[in-house]
Amino acid sequence: MKKTIFVIDDEKDIREILKINLISEGYDVTAFSSAAEAKKGFESEKPDLIILDVMMEDKDGFEFCREIRSSEKLKSIPVIFLSAKSEEFDKVLGLELGGDDYLTKPFSIKELRSRIKAVLRRSGELPEDKKIILKYKGVELNPEQFSLKVDGEEIKLTKTELNMLSLFMENPGKVFTRDNIINSVRGHDVFVVDRTIDVHIMNLRKKLGDYKNIITTFSGVGYGFKE
């Protein structure tokens, strides 16, 4: 089933741009121009992700995210906050309304796409057409099933291992620092020590068997996937 995203923003242009782009990404998108409108939407449907402009005309963006956070039914839905000014996020943080990610306008669609992917990945969801199998030689990653096939043999991955390996395989050649990895795999407000990443890398390599070298170490920098 397609993943559903609610977009809540009072600027029509933004709504349109997001809608067009996200639909083409394989998401099911519903856009609302105000918090009040969105509330109605929640009555009939529960989205997999909310993209919310915190600073809308009538200032109800803040109020709205507080509501989301306190609603038993909705609080598990990941939220990506949009805002024109980065200071506004401070307020969000200060009010402990913390979301799963933050983006400052103007943002690139590409940036948003990868944030969405990261957020959904963390919550265990993946968009319909992204359930593709990532392949490299004898390594097959099937994000949907949380499984990895190495030379045909099925191997179980934990959630973080899967997220990490997906991150790497989706961005071949790119080098990630440990901080990058923590942010994109575990979220922005998690406190973990760098060495933790090394341990996950090690576990992953162990599971990759003969292909353990597809994860390359860049001493003093981080890790990456190299074909």
Partner DNA sequence: TTGACGGATAAAAAATTTTAAAGAATTCTG
Partner DNA sequence: CAGAATTCTTTAAAATTTTTTATCCGTCAA
Question: Residues in the site for DNA, rule: CB under 7 A?
Answer: 156, 158-161, 186, 190-193, 195-196, 198-202, 205, 217-222
Q: Which residue bears the tokens 């109800």?
A: 60
Q: Which residue bears the tokens 């963006």?
A: 61
202 contact, one of a second copy, DNA, none, CB 5-8 Å limit per kind: DNA
Q: Look up residue 173 and give its two tokens.
A: 């050649």
Closest CA to 19 of 1, 5, 33: 5
Is the Cβ of residue 86 or residue 217 nearer to DNA in the bound state?
Answer: 217
- Per the rule left: phi > 0, alpha: psi between -120 and 50, beta: everything else, 134 is beta
Smallest separation, CB 110 to DNA (Å)? 9
Smallest separation, CB 76 to DNA (Å)? 10
182 binds a second copy (CB under 8 A): yes
**Do 8 and 49 touch, CB atoms closer than 8 A?**
no
CB atoms inside a 10 Å sphere around CB 64: 23
* Amino acid code (one letter) for 9: D
89 binds a second copy (CB under 8 A): yes
Could you give the CA distance from residue 44 to residue 200 in angstroms, rounded to a whole number? 40
Sign of the four-CA dihedral 121, 71, 34, 88: negative
Q: Applying CB under 8 A, which of residues 19, 39, 66, 91 lies at the interface with a second copy?
A: 91
Candidate ranges 3-11, 14-22, 178-186, 201-209; the one touching a second copy (CB under 8 A): 178-186
Smallest separation, CB 174 to DNA (Å)? 16
Residues that bind a second copy (CB under 8 A): 69, 87-102, 108, 110-111, 114-115, 117-118, 120-122, 124-126, 128-129, 144-147, 158-159, 173-175, 177, 179-180, 182-183, 188-191, 218-221, 224
